[in-house]
Amino acid sequence: MKQILVKELREYNYKDLFSEYESAHLIQELEVKSDELKTKLGMRVQPIQIYTRKKTRKIKFQGIAGVITLKQLEIEIMPKFLKTGDKWRESLFNMIYWSRSNRLLTQKSSHITTSTFSFYDHVAMMFIETMEDALGKDSIHSYRAIEEASRFLKGRLLLSEQLKNVISHPGIMFYECDLFDTDNEFNYLLHWCTKTLIAKVRNNWLRIKLKMIIDVSPKTHKIYNIPVNTKLPPQYSHYLEAINIANNIALGYSYYHSEKLGGGIGYVVNTEVIYEKFVEKILQQIKTTTYGIKSEAQSSLLFARAVSANTSSYYTVPDNKLYKDGTPRLLIDAKYKNIYADDKQKKPINADIYQLFTSLVTHNCDTGILISPCENDEAITEHSWEVTDGSKDYKLFSLTIDMSDLSSVDRIEKLKERLFSYIDKKW
């Protein structure tokens, strides 16, 4: 299957990318995919935008990264701020893994450290690591109803079956009982995902590891619908990350999606969400520095109290609030889009500045920072404003920080050092 690489927010001529494919059908397939992704990822805009400019059909991908699997090809989408090259996939998956677990995805074998990975190789590495950890604990068990017959009633009587067999099987009780075992939709999904990744990965070492997981994983005998929408029981939360990965892949192969035009979504993430979570996790590391600072994520305070009927109150929820000596001193909002990194001639969106100022007043802080990622020769670029309410001055900063290479531990540590050093100067 042919694979096409594109970069988020970059405008492409449609014919340059898809000249080999029948246009009307592919456009319809892409539009269906865009609607699905917008719904599944909770996005405000269409992630795949097809439009005409100067009589030329254009296409642009916005707010997503990953791989979209169509009937005839796969489209790899790299985030707007990462450098083009072999390492962008490592950078993206380090961000995904860090934002979930506060640590990097480790490559445990020297056999693969020098290899070039496909996107599905990276998905497989995440899946393998979380499955290896989970398989060392309890397997996922659940109750399922089965029908049985014996001379003794051992469950819920099946009255209709009992009446049908009262003459042909006298003295036999027909009943339904609950069986507690591993034949359930969760294990089916994990088994399916492992087999799917075996077919998708290019790295032989990863394929071997996946086959080993198949050998030790619980087997199922029934066929279940995927993706799985049932909530995982809390006692099996060690499987949650593996379930999430498998569900993401399964979106493209379920019966529901195969009814539509495309062959699958693949593995796609909301870049804005991943970026904001990544920055939040980075800032949580501040408490380990020597500055006596602690970070508080998603701190909500009442801004405008509703006084009339059928009216909702307004709350401000900055991404991160930093304290020093027990006092809130700094608010930091991670903003992914529409700042200088995207267009050097533009200011931040007015709504972002207003929202940050409102948060400063409500949270009793005097300094606020908007942080955006970029691919830049300068490590950090700053723009600043001052606002006064007559009694107090507030400082607002728009910060673009180079995040073009996050492919290794050293790169992320350098990013943390730059960010922490900058924040320390703002106290």
Per-residue pLDDT of the chain (427 residues; tens, 9 = 90+): 688 999 999 999 999 998 877 778 899 989 988 998 888 888 889 999 999 999 999 999 999 998 888 888 889 999 999 988 778 888 888 888 777 655 544 443 434 444 567 788 888 888 998 899 899 898 998 887 888 899 888 888 899 888 999 889 998 999 998 878 898 999 999 999 999 999 888 889 999 999 999 999 999 988 898 888 888 999 999 999 899 888 877 765 433 333 333 345 567 888 988 898 888 888 877 654 545 555 566 567 777 888 888 788 877 777 788 887 777 888 888 888 755 445 555 556 667 778 888 888 888 888 999 888 988 767 788 888 898 877 888 999 988 889 999 988 888 888 888 888 888 777 6
Predicted local confidence at residue 102, as pLDDT: 52
Shared-domain flag, residues 358 and 214: no
Give the domain-ending residue among 250, 276, 304: 250
Examine the domain organization and report whether 115 and 239 are in the same domain.
yes
Together in a domain, 212 and 150: no
264, part of any domain:
no
Q: Check residue 111 and give its pLDDT.
A: 43
In a domain, 146, yes or no: yes
Tell me what pLDDT residue 114 has: 45
Residue with tokens 């080993």: 212
pTM given for the model: 0.71
Q: Are 152 and 136 in the same domain? A: no
Are 215 and 297 in a shared domain?
A: no
**Position of tokens 């865009």?**
34
Give the domain range for residue 105: 94-140+186-250
**How many structural domains comprise the chain?**
3
Q: Is residue 263 part of a domain?
A: no
* Confidence (pLDDT) at 67: 86
Same domain, 173 and 190: no
Judge whether 25 lies within some domain. Answer: no
From 199, 225, 250, give the residue that closes a domain. 250
Tell which residue, 40, 65, 164, 144, has the closest CA to residue 406: 65
Are residues 174 and 111 both part of a single domain?
Answer: no
Q: What is the pLDDT of residue 56?
A: 93
**Look-up of token digits 């935008």:** 49
The size of the chain, in residues, is: 427
Do 162 and 212 fall into the same domain? no
